[in-house]
Amino acid sequence: MSSRPGAADGLIEAAVRRYTCVRAHTEALVAPLSAEDCQVQSMPDASPSKWHLAHVSWFFETFLLHPLLPGYEPCCPDYAVLFNSYYVAIGERHPRPQRGLLTRPSLAEVMAYRAHVDADMVELMQRVAPAEWTGLIELGCQHEEQHQELILMDIQHAMSCNPLQPPYAPSVALSDPAKTRSRWLEVPGGLYEIGHAGTSFHFDNEAPRHRVWLEPFSIAEQLVTAGQYLAFMTDGGYSRPELWLSEGWDTVTREGWRAPLYWAEDEGGWSRFSLSGRRSVDPTEPVLHISYYEADAFARWSGARLPTEAEWEVAARHVPLAQRDDSGWQWTGSAYLPYPGYRTPPGAVGEYNGKFMVNQMVLRGGSLATPKGHARPSYRNFFPAAARWAFTAIRLARS
């Protein structure tokens, strides 16, 4: 350990502990998987678990080890291309839809790559002044936590494509049943501030904090349940074009949607495929794997609407809205756009969020797969309107 005086030593020890805990949790998530499981890519929007394991290591290697650790030797120079995701400023990238074709390096070699990066990251934290790396290491840890959720999203989709319908792991905690009551929480209109406040970590898209004017509104205390969604389906929800946005209706008819992703109907009724395998739909639990189009159509059918992201954040801060312990990220009616005064951070790290601020919708809250402590009221998740493989849910609002 470094000979720096006590305060610096404590900071270094805390950073090493934070880093190693995050890295260990990622490896624990893939522990139930075989090498074959880690190789599969079930659709262009998903990535193999093996690629996720390597990419998050590439992030630390690219943004910390290469520029900051004197004499750093990469594990394999070719990894710079294979495991770059969307950082155009860094250089060439392997095509995203072809990540499943990367049978080499093997899973064992990727795990060796992780160990190589981990050893040098600990050395960096012990040799280099903390002011050089503190912010970037936390960004890297937060980035890896995002990929922890992606690993679960992507492997669930891959397992669902297998006729055997294998579970990821039988012991995975499932969504909590909704409370029997469904209250509407009243929020007074007025001038509010949204966006991250304080000095704790936040992504650049959560800032700057700014004022918004809201008219009075009410927001549902609980998420929409599978039973409520079944009523929408029974009432012809997927066959009534008047309920749908034009692009949503085009998607429904083109894709043949008639239920949420992973749902299937047989003589025994409706079932859904989860991380714990296929099981009967519980009408009291929140409905998951819903696109923005479906959430919007359900809201219109129910005589309500989706909250704006400003309404959601204000409600999360001012009324007893359960936003972290819910099962799914909640669609809002807000397009993913920069906040007033937003500036893209300089350098390649600036490609993290800003360049995706088009053709996406904002989600708020968290999901059963979100690492504890990762989400916060100002957190802005985002997906295209047709996306369904994420752990997405519905919370309603009314004017």
Q: Measure Cα distances from 195 to 105, 136, 210, 291 in Å.
A: 41, 21, 7, 25
Confidence at residue 5, expressed as pLDDT on a 0 to 100 scale: 54
Judge if 82 and 151 occupy the same domain.
yes
- Give yes or no for residue 326 having a pLDDT over 90: no
219 and 368 in a single domain? The answer is: yes
| 318 vs 133 pLDDT, higher one | 133
CB atoms within 10 A of CB 129: 11
216 plus 141 within the same structural domain: no
DSSP 8-state secondary structure symbol assigned to residue 19: H
Type of residue found at 128: V
- pLDDT 10s digits, 85-118: 999 999 999 999 999 999 999 999 999 999 999 9
Q: Looking at the domain assignment, is residue 169 inside a domain?
A: no
Contact 318, 379 (CB under 8 A): no
Distance (Å, whole) CA 175 – CA 285: 7
Number of separate domains in the chain: 2
Owning domain of residue 78: 6-160
Does residue 311 fall inside a structural domain?
Answer: yes
Q: DSSP strand E in the chain: where?
A: 184-187, 190-194, 210-214, 217-220, 263-266, 269-274, 277-280, 329-335, 361-364, 381-383, 392-393, 397-398
The pLDDT tens digits for 232-288 are 999 999 999 999 999 999 999 999 999 999 999 999 999 999 999 999 999 999 999
User: Is pLDDT larger for residue 202 or for residue 182?
Assistant: 202
Same domain, 220 and 363: yes
The pLDDT mean for the chain works out to 94
DSSP state of 392: E
10 within some domain: yes
Share of the chain above pLDDT 90, in %: 90
The yes-or-no verdict on residue 168 having pLDDT over 90 is yes
Q: How far apart are CA 91 and CA 396, in angstroms?
A: 43
Q: Are residues 149 and 253 in the same domain?
A: no
Query: At residue 329, does pLDDT exceed 80?
Result: yes
Same domain, 20 and 58: yes
Q: What is the CATH number of the domain that holds 39?
A: 1.20.120.450
Give me the pLDDT at residue 286, please: 95
Name the nearest CA neighbour of 121 among 75, 77, 86.
75
CA distance 65 to 383: 31
**Across the chain, how many H-helices and E-strands are there?**
11, 12
Together in a domain, 52 and 130: yes
What's phi and psi for 33, nearest 5 deg?
-95, 150
- pLDDT computed for residue 319 by the predictor: 82
**237 and 285 both lie in a single domain:** yes
The arithmetic mean of pLDDT across residues 117-127, rounded, is: 97
Q: Assign 4 a pLDDT band (cuts: 50, 70, 90).
A: very low
Reply yes or no on whether the pLDDT at 9 is more than 90.
Answer: no
Q: Quick one: 257 and 155 in the same domain?
A: no
